[in-house]
Amino acid sequence: MTTHLDAATPGLRPAPLVLPPAFTGLVAAGSPGAAGQACRLAESGEAEAGTLLMEERDDLIALSVVLAPTEPLATARRAFFVGMQALADAVGTFGPPEIPVTFLWPDTLIFNGARLGGGALHWPQGCDEAEIPDWLVFSAMLIASKRAAGDPGLTPDSTSLEEEGFPEGLREPLVESFARHLTKAFEIWSEDGAARSMSRYLARLALPPGARASIETGGDARLVHADGRSELLPLLPALLSPSWREPATDTVRL
């Protein structure tokens, strides 16, 4: 894969990552961060699918990857669930095995009962639902440390990799693991179909007791409660306004 970047491209430099062959790693410094830079590069044609950006920060692990959709936007958004699978698998690789990684619909990653981070999906502005987008970008953030937030008792709804006993210096290994799991997750979609792929996301989704869920073609979830009531959980509103994100800081809510 090639990335058409000049050596002097502001805010970007090659990342010291060991990645699968389809990926090119970059470090994004300063504003607009990994997600914003990935969208800018994809929009301008400077980066192709597989361009993976990460930020160098002590408080967060932030990453983004450019994707090449082959379906209309209305159904291509299901790639978001593949990204979430890869994120959870990467976290699970390094976390205590007895603590499961789960999702709060649709975009929040939960660890040990608290918010650790989340994922987001971006696409070209003005792209029609029936059009195949020129690109998609999956981005994610995880709280690495909450030291600057003060007493953890003041922010009980969130947790951090540091608090949960994850190894130190995890940024590069976790981003590399994410890339490997993303490759595998898309292979499962390609070989076994969308239903199998979506079932891997649903296996981690927190549900009410006795409820079951399925993901429809457009990415919405159909939740059937234990008493038979059916409820539609829309995907698009959450992608437009991620529930885990703090708008004032553009980071994970503490």
Cα separation, 91 vs 100, whole angstroms:
10
Token code pair at residue 139:
């981005």
CB contact at 8 A, 27 and 12: yes
Those residues with Cβ within 8 angstroms of residue 41's Cβ, 6 or more apart along the chain or in another chain: 3, 5, 47, 51, 66
Count of CA atoms in the C-beta half-sphere (13 A) of 147: 6
Average pLDDT, the chain: 94
Evaluate if residue 97 carries a pLDDT over 90: no
Summarised one tens digit per residue, pLDDT across range 193-235 is 999 999 999 999 999 999 999 999 999 999 999 999 999 999 9
The predicted structure's pLDDT at residue 69: 96
Count of CA atoms in the C-beta half-sphere (13 A) of 52: 25
Chain-centre distance for alpha carbon 50: 14
The predicted structure's pLDDT at residue 84: 98
The predicted structure's pLDDT at residue 150: 75
pLDDT-derived band at 1 (thresholds 50, 70, 90) equals: very low
Summarised one tens digit per residue, pLDDT across range 99-129 is 999 999 999 999 999 999 999 999 999 999 9
Nearest to 107 by CA among 209, 218, 221: 221
pLDDT-derived band at 9 (thresholds 50, 70, 90) equals: low
By three-state DSSP, how is residue 49 classified?
coil
**Which amino acid does the sequence have at 240?**
L
Cα separation, 26 vs 15, whole angstroms:
4
Q: Kindly list the structural domains of the chain, giving each domain's residue range(s) and its CATH number in brackets, ordered by start.
A: 12-206 (3.30.930.10)
By three-state DSSP, how is residue 27 classified?
strand
Which residues on adjacent β-strands are paired with residue 104? Answer: 108
Angle CA 155–161–166, to nearest 5: 145
Cα separation, 209 vs 57, whole angstroms:
38
Cα separation, 253 vs 243, whole angstroms:
9
Number of H helices, E strands in the chain: 6, 13
23-53 as b/e: b if 16+ CB within 10 A: bbbbbbeeeebbbbbbbbbbeeebbbbbbbb
The predicted structure's pLDDT at residue 2: 44
Summarised one tens digit per residue, pLDDT across range 53-83 is 999 999 999 999 999 999 999 999 999 999 9
pLDDT-derived band at 148 (thresholds 50, 70, 90) equals: confident
